[in-house]
Amino acid sequence: MIPFFRRKKSPATAGDAATQTGTPADTAPATPGVDADASGIDAVAAANTGTQSIEPQPVFSAPEPMPEQVQDHEAAPAAAPGKPGWRERLRNSAFARSFGGLFSRNPKLDDDLLDEIETALLTADVGVGATTQLVESLRKRMKAREFVDANALLAALRADLIAMLAPVAKPLVIDAEAKPFVILTVGVNGVGKTTTIGKLAHRFKAEGRTLMLAAGDTFRAAAVAQLQAWGERNGVAVVAQGQNADAASVAFDALQAAKARGTEVLIADTAGRLHTQQGLMAELGKIKRVLGKIDESAPQEVLMVIDGTTGQNALSQLRQFHAASGVTGLVVTKLDGTAKGGVVFALAREFGIPIRFAGIGERPEDLRVFDAEAFVDALLPEALGA
Ligand SMILES: Nc1nc2c(ncn2[C@@H]2O[C@H](COP(=O)(O)OP(=O)(O)O)[C@@H](O)[C@H]2O)c(=O)[nH]1
Ligand SMILES: [Mg+2]
């Protein structure tokens, strides 16, 4: 049963306060939500207590967009657009470090070089299958004297790595016919689902799309507040029912509201769950079915967020989430810092599911459309890049 809710007028939000006072508190989104203003959620809870209206209506918080200077982030420079941004952010990955070291030693073209490449690939979590495929192909061509020197072999490796990712570098296309285009985000805890939704909201707003967010992680009050904080930052409506609400019911209400408003994109958050928790995994199927009752083609995208530092465990996560919810696209986050990065190749080779975006930092602009060439070149020594 869908519970009844009262439509809430937008509360005095953190955004409003910041607008008036110019406090810097909201200008540092490094870990949005952790310290997010909780006034939104309190207001939601207040709106839900004791009062029932005749018609089921979702709770809205539709804040005013924040002014430029409030959205400005001065703490750290954003990654530059294009390839340099990728390279600067992925420089510390195990992959980049192994290959940087290998390359700077001016290696000879021999079996030792192949062994070193094999070790570097395995260390970076490319996985046994993909590594064997890459190294054996290089070995065959080396024996056939295809390479004049080590550089030529490394250039061939670069091309092979790009070729492995090219089939999955398929950007998310928002079908304008779908009103709204529903994106359901799934994944284990802490991988960056809510952050990714915030970044997507930022992107879609910049593209001039109308959108709405659904606070489907109802496990923790902080999770709802975190999404609302992102909504406020981007001037996007967030549909929420507060903590412990039925996630499928939140999604249902949100889709109804988005349809009524003619919103172009609806992004639904979900609680993180372990791929081994059968009951919770089944809930994803329920959310999908409930959405399908309003629009049989919804959700148009089941976007699984994967933490790039997870290593080979990402493969079993994807296997289980795919079985439970039919994943149609991936976001690989935390590829900045010390991420191993290589799991992207294993995912591409094993599943062939499109990788839509890569998270290369915590800031709104640090979500990049996945670009096979930019990604590979960020991992390999600069001299090799095209
Ligand atoms: N460095 C880095 N941190 C990220 C990235 N994406 C998310 N995070 C951080 O990961 C943490 C968990 O993110 P959150 O969105 O709450 O994860 P969720 O539980 O899946 O919703 C937060 O501290 C985020 O700032 C990324 O691309 N790079
Ligand atoms: Mg979350």
Annotated binding residues for GTP: 187-194, 269-273, 333-336
Specify if 114 maps to a domain: yes
Structural domain contains residue 67: no
Q: How many C-beta atoms surround the C-beta of residue 181 within 10 A? A: 25
For β-strands 355-359 and 367-369, DSSP reports them as: antiparallel
For residue 302, list its beta bridge partners. 184
Residue 71 lies in a domain: no
In the chain, the DSSP E strands lie at 59-61, 181-186, 211-214, 237-240, 265-268, 301-307, 329-333, 355-359, 367-369
Q: Which of 90, 195, 219, 274 to mutate to test the pocket of ligand 1 (most atoms within 8 A of CB)?
A: 195
Do both 145 and 179 map to the same domain?
no
Of the three residues 168, 201, 236, the one that is the final residue of a domain is 168
Q: Are residues 140 and 120 in the same domain?
A: yes
Please indicate, yes or no, if residue 25 is contained in any of the structural domains: no
Annotated binding site: 187-194, 269-273, 333-336
Residue 330 contacts residue 356 (beta carbons within 8 Å): yes
Does 186 share its domain with 309? yes
Residue 190 and residue 152 share a domain:
no
Query: What helix, strand, coil percent values describe the chain, rounded to 5?
Result: 50, 10, 40
Going residue by residue through the chain (386 aa), what tens digit of pLDDT does each one get? 333 333 333 333 333 333 333 333 333 333 333 333 333 333 333 333 333 333 334 444 444 333 333 333 333 445 555 565 888 888 777 778 888 777 777 788 999 999 999 999 998 889 999 999 999 999 999 999 999 999 899 999 999 999 999 999 999 999 999 999 999 999 999 999 999 999 999 999 999 999 999 999 998 888 999 999 999 988 999 999 977 889 999 999 999 999 999 999 999 999 998 878 888 899 999 999 999 999 999 999 999 999 999 888 999 999 999 999 999 999 999 998 767 789 999 999 999 999 999 999 999 889 999 999 999 988 887 765 54
Question: Does an H or E element contain 56, and which?
Answer: none
CB-based contact 182:266 (threshold 8 Å): yes
Direct distance between the N- and C-terminal alpha carbons of the chain, in angstroms, rounded to an integer:
57
Q: Atom of ligand 1 at shortest distance to CA of 187? A: 20
Alpha helices in 10-104 (DSSP H): 14-21, 39-48, 68-71, 83-90, 94-104
CA of 318 to the centre of ligand 1 (A): 18
Are the C-beta atoms of residues 369 and 357 closer than 8 Å to each other? yes
pLDDT at 246: 92
pLDDT at 81: 53
**Residue 255 shares a structural domain with residue 356:** yes
Ligand 1 centroid to Cα of residue 222, in Å, is: 14
In a domain, 51, yes or no: no
* Tally of domains within the chain: 2
15 belongs to a structural domain: no
How many angstroms does the Cα of residue 129 sit away from the middle of ligand 2?
A: 32
Which of 194, 84, 112, 168 has the alpha carbon at shortest distance from 343?
168
Q: Looking at the domain assignment, is residue 31 inside a domain?
A: no
My answer on whether 352 and 238 are in the same domain is yes
With a 6 Å cutoff on the Cβ, whether 317 touches ligand 1 is no
Strands 355-359 and 329-333, by their bridges, are parallel
DSSP 8-state assignment for residue 239: E
- Residue 135 Cα to ligand 1 middle (Å): 33
162 and 178 together in one domain = no
DSSP string for 117-128? HHHHHHHTT--H
Strand-strand pairing, 237-240 and 211-214: parallel
Pick the atom of ligand 1 nearest to 360's CA.
Answer: 27
CA of 119 to the centre of ligand 2 (A): 35
Neighbouring-strand partners of residue 358: 332, 368
pLDDT value of residue 82: 56
Distance 142 CA to ligand 1 centre (A): 42
Q: Whose CA is nearest to atom 19 of ligand 1?
A: 190
Ligand 1 pocket member 190 (CB < 6 A): yes
38 membership: H or E segment, kind and range: none
Compute CA distances 321 → 78, 261, 284, 359, whole Å. Answer: 32, 31, 9, 20
Verify whether ligand 1 is closer than 6 Å to residue 195 (CB atom): yes
Residues in the chain: 386
Q: Are residues 213 and 315 in the same domain?
A: yes
Identify the domain containing residue 332 by its residue range. Answer: 170-370
Q: Is 93 in the pocket of ligand 1 (CB under 6 A)?
A: no
CATH code for position 274: 3.40.50.300
Q: Is 194 in the pocket of ligand 1 (CB under 6 A)?
A: yes
Cβ-contact 267, 211 below 8 angstroms:
yes
**Residues in a beta bridge with 264:** none
User: Is 199 close to ligand 1, i.e. is its CB under 6 Å away?
Assistant: no
Compute the distance between CA of residue 256 and CA of residue 10 in angstroms, rounded to an integer. 19
Q: Is the CB of 192 under 6 A from ligand 1?
A: yes
359 CB near ligand 1 (under 6 Å): yes
Same domain as 346, residue 226: yes
CA atoms of 73 and 56, how far apart (whole Å): 39
Query: Of 122, 152, 168, which one is at a domain's C-terminal end?
Result: 168
> Do 272 and 255 sit in the same domain of this protein?
yes
Same domain assignment for residues 163 and 190: no
Residues 6+ away with beta carbon under 8 Å from 354 = 168, 169, 170, 172, 328, 329, 330
Q: Which of 306, 294, 320 is nearest to 356 (CA)?
A: 306
Amino acid at the residue 84: P
Ligand 1 touching residue 334 (CB < 6 A): yes
| Domain shared by 365 and 223, yes or no | yes
Cβ atoms 275, 320 nearer than 8 A? yes
CA of 181 to the centre of ligand 1 (A): 24
Among the candidates 106, 141, 168, a domain finishes at 168
pTM for the complete prediction?
Answer: 0.80
We report the CATH number of the domain holding residue 134 as: 1.20.120.140
Nearest protein Cα to ligand 1, atom 10: 192
Q: Is residue 34 situated within a structural domain? A: no
Determine whether the shortest distance from the Cβ of 24 to ligand 1 is under 6 A. no
